[in-house]
Structure 1
Amino acid sequence: MPHAKAVLVLDDEQELRDDVGRFVADAGFTVETAGEATSLSDADLVSFDIVLLDIAMPDADGLAVIERLSTLALRGPAPGILLISGRGEDMLQTVAAVARRAHVDVVGVLQKPFEPDDLLALLQGWRPPAARGAAKQWSVEQIRPQLAQAVATRTLGVAFQPKAGSGHLGFSGAEALLAGHLPVIGPVSPELIVEAASTDLDLLMALSLEVVRLAAEGCRSWSEEGWRGPVSINLPFDVLGVPDVIDHLEATLRDAGLAPSQVIFELMEDAIYDSSAASLSVLARLRLAGFGLSLDDVGRRQSGLLQLANLPITEVKIDLQLLAQARLWAKSRSIFASIAELGQRLGLSVVAEGVETPEDLLFIRKLPVDYVQGYLVSRKLPLPDLLSMLTASSSRGALVPPHVAAPLS
């Protein structure tokens, strides 16, 4: 198979199958079409890069095809799927969620009838997972000693993702994030680093304090250059149970020359469900000490919003996955808007994560969202690169060049 993308159009409607097949072939793809899936062998399926899949076919529906692809993905490379249907948004959203949970790569979704250009954009924009440069996966047991060494020798890497005001797009602080790299091992996903640290509370606390130290140094650096904005730091909920945790946090910041008012600690939304009296007491004391508290990834588990009143938070960050879904689904857009409006009514700052396009920004600017964070503004950057970005933005008064950001509307 030539490595120009090979596409299988799998739909029981012959007219659509033929029209789409011709259009995709004219666009330079290798194309085959089929009206049913039962005659296709596993070898047939894995010979394609993308399967354009109708989720409702009489012989074997899209879910049956997804089950086959999920099994194939366990053995080796399997095609991605582009889901199409005339059964409505709800069915597409549900089947897409099933596919992702079955570890099948979802290229995109389209409701029938769809525009050919929308189909072409999805096909051209997709890359197979093997081409995305994924870092080698290490086990927790391999990571833990290397992480402990990096923390002890102060060689841990931290990067900063800036936060911008949703209207003016001026610098409004930055979030400190693990850089995703450990000495000796090399690239490691930040999620795996945290997972390894979480198996040892002492290591998790040491990691947290080291991130706080590096984050504070970053905030002090941009403050000394005249930039105003707090640093946000992810605080694992488990460390709230460490004796004298507030004293340790305050001492680390004091040594770095930073005041509590310049720091926002971010808690995962799951903290809502684990908030014991002791943990709530620590959170209350953090607020009394002058720290900001942000609830991160809001929107993953909407039932938790009922518990917002129990936490002394100052900010909510709407989960980036919810924004990604809002690009496709009307229900997700309504949920996103409801969270933003609830945050405003509760007197909280509202941050939208995962803002990637001018269209995202236009959507967000119609809602009571105070700050945006995401690739439209910047990826996470080493501190020197962040400071250079701030200097470059001085002349235009915004982090994002005018030709990149959408106009105010």
Structure 2
Amino acid sequence: MRKPQIDYAAVFHALPGMVALLTPGLVYVDANEDFTRLAGRTREQLLGRYIFDVFPENPNDPAATGMRETRASMLRVVATGERDTMALLRYDIEDPGRPGHWVEHFWSPVNAPVVGPDGRVVLIVHRVEEITELIRARGGTGSDSSRARVLEAELYTRARELQEVNERLRGAHAREREVALALQEAMLPAPMPVGHHRAAVRYRPAVSALNVCGDWYDLVDLPGDRIAVAVGDVVGHGLGAACVMGQLRSALSAAARVTVGPAQALEALGLYACHVDGAESTTVVKAFIDWDTHTLTYSSAGHPPPALLHPDGTVIFLDQATDPPLGARPEHVPRPQASMAFAGGATLVMYTDGLIERRDEDIDVGLARLADSLIRHGKAHPEALADALLADLLPATGDTDDTALVIIRL
């Protein structure tokens, strides 16, 4: 597919609302069609001219401050390289068809920098909302109505400033999301073969900037034809959750190598979690798979139950060794574990709650949806099965929570 060719000059001139470009010396270099129309000036009257030669202050109003405030805002943008949102401004304009006749205008300006390769401001984007008609439509005559009009205009400006703050917060959250996801990706193990067995892993972040990170998976090779698999979910989100996730994943991975079973590995992780801020209430499920004995041993700390698809197409959920999340008990208590035999060709599915849980339904509905999808797609290769489960189970509007998924063909 060819990349569309965009005429940015045409886009600029078609922008809704008044937009002009000025040099750091406050000289017009361009203005869009709405600007020339609403300001009552042609491009020839604007381009190459100093802004306040085109729009001087009203000499008949000694209290006018529009020119001084606009110049201060623009120079602030040049000096700081940051956007500046001005308060509501009354700035009268001389009628070009009636020299000496000044027309009252109310403007709501925003000035933003365009930065060059050297980091210096090379242009000022001057965007203006013309709200004169809005204020006149709500106003009347006399001093009281005039004050009411100004007050209403000030409220309008405050609303715009709040909108600007919200936009900046969204930008900050987006940047945090990018950093958190990069950290999450760096700490999650890359997909790896598990001996001669087929497996697939997936991590899908939430669409919300504030709901990313905290879910993880881990696969550890053990002596003999054995592996340890884990999936976990830290309660928090963002950078903090990603850091906690990394610590817990590493600790559990180490514990799996020196303990005799998943329950003992979770006990060791629980003791470690007591000394990690933000680790309380983390859920995790751990499974040891032994192909020599065709035995699956598992233990869960408050986590949704893994699903096991038998070769005959039946699905069971491994919920016979479930205990509270990490840090939920004030003192150490041994955790339970359960074992069961599996037949060759069975499929183990471990996941976090983002795959099955929805706020408006019982968890059993999500588990049934998972079982149904497994039955329909279970014969596929684990990689194709992982994609099918995500397509079937995640909301079409985007994930509202993280999802980690591990699939192993037994």
* TM-score, normalising length: structure 1: 0.24
The structure with the greater share of residues assigned to helix is 1
Please state which structure has a larger fraction of its residues in strand. Answer: 2
Task: Work out which of the two has the higher radius of gyration on C-alpha atoms and give 1 or 2.
Answer: 2
TM-score for the superposition, normalised by structure 2: 0.24
